[in-house]
Amino acid sequence: MHGAVMYGPGDVRIDERAEPQIVEPTDAIIRVSAACVCGSDLWPYRWIEDLEWPAPMGHEYVGIVEEVGAEVQAIKRGQFVVGSFSASDNTCAICRAGYQIACVNRVPMGALGAQAELLRVPLADGTLLATPDLPPDDLIPSLLSASDVLGTGWFGAEAAEAGPGKTVAVVGDGAVGLLAVLAARQLGAERIIAMSRHEPRQRLACEHGATDIVEERGEDGAARIKELTNGLGADSVVEAVGTQDAIMQAISATRPGGHVGFVGVGHEVTVPGMDLFWSLVHLHGGPAPVRRFLPVLIDLIWNRQIDPGKVFDLELPLAEAAEGYDAMDQRRAIKVLLHP
């Protein structure tokens, strides 16, 4: 089968890879209907993060089940399934508490390479969720978004305690930030401030429910948020970038007693102790337990109550995955969907 492999920074190729096989009786094999390039895939692409090269790429996926192991009970051949970017048994104490990303038996899906024609999914019963039927083609991008970026944006909004009557600010206008805007609206936020300098992303943020756009960044961005909130700061702030400037902007833009939901993958982020101490903000976040949210997200998508698939503004065949990486790296695309 064909799959995307990164040989080093900036070097993505389509290789002939061995077809996955059932290894454990809890595995499933799916034929991937759609995969995509994630913002976190750009960290090794830019050599900000190292991998063991060559590395199979991709951790977001939807597809049709082709084979299941002997102990798989809930997932059946022929079903269309959505899976989290991290496999989990969904039965351990951590999973039952809603943090499947930290399952004691977790398996990172990125190590298996979802940007491919076929994919082995460990712990299939706990990781995959089937849709009510085979979806129409126009729903596939939105279902794919639930595999990571929608679930991550949703977690960011929940971690920030977005809800009725709240003012929510979102730092970051990538796919996760834009879908955090959507999540905040679904959770009932009264006012949603999207921080973006890019007109196409501003427009999509407004379609997803943003009421205000702030173009300033850093200290100026935090000051503008306070200006819009009577000098107090936002009740809830979602940080969806992962840089030092972004997390400090998020903390500074939050009112005392407010909540910051941080879901950007942090690189060399250090929060000064006294700044944190005097901020009086609640911090919660990290990698998203996407599996917790999949039942709700799939239902909302299936019933066409939300359309998160709009974040995919470029679709390419898998054979052109390298172009997809370059487009996201150069910010010509928000998020790239790949068709195996």
| Cα–Cα distance, 77 to 97 (Å, whole number) | 29
Q: Please identify which residue in the block is written with the tokens 């039965």.
A: 91
Q: Are 35 and 61 in contact (CB under 8 A)?
A: yes
Query: Residues 296-317: pLDDT tens digits?
Result: 999 999 999 999 999 999 999 9
Stretch (H or E) spanning 322: helix 321-329
Query: Residues 171-201: pLDDT tens digits?
Result: 999 999 999 999 999 999 999 999 999 999 9
Q: Please identify which residue in the block is written with the tokens 């999540």.
A: 183
| Cα–Cα distance, 311 to 117 (Å, whole number) | 22
From the list 70, 43, 67, the residue with the least C-alpha distance to 57 is: 43
Q: Are 173 and 205 in contact (CB under 8 A)?
A: yes
- Give the pLDDT score at 268: 81
- Give the pLDDT score at 51: 86
Furthest C-alpha separation in the chain: 60
When pLDDT is cut at 50, 70 and 90, the band that residue 48 belongs to is confident
End-to-end CA distance of the chain: 10
- What class has domain 153-285? alpha beta
- Beta strands of the chain (E only): which ranges? 2-8, 11-16, 28-37, 55-56, 61-68, 80-83, 86-87, 107-108, 118-121, 128-130, 167-171, 191-195, 212-214, 234-239, 254-262, 282-285, 312-317, 335-339
For the chain, what are the domain ranges? 2-148+289-339, 153-285
Query: Residues 103-156: pLDDT tens digits?
Result: 999 999 999 999 999 999 999 999 999 999 999 999 999 999 999 999 999 999
* 101 half-sphere exposure, CB direction, 13 A CA radius: 17
User: In this structure, what DSSP letter does residue 312 have?
Assistant: E
Using a cut of 0.85, tell me whether the model's pTM lies above it.
yes
- Give the pLDDT score at 267: 79
Q: Which residues pair with 171 in a beta bridge?
A: 195, 239
- What class has domain 2-148+289-339? alpha beta
Given a cut of 90, whether residue 50 has pLDDT beyond it is: no
Query: Residues 208-263: pLDDT tens digits?
Result: 999 999 999 999 999 999 999 999 999 999 999 999 999 999 999 999 999 999 99
Q: Which residues contact 218 (CB under 8 A, 6 or more apart)?
A: 245, 248, 249
- In this prediction, residues 258-281 reach a mean pLDDT of 92
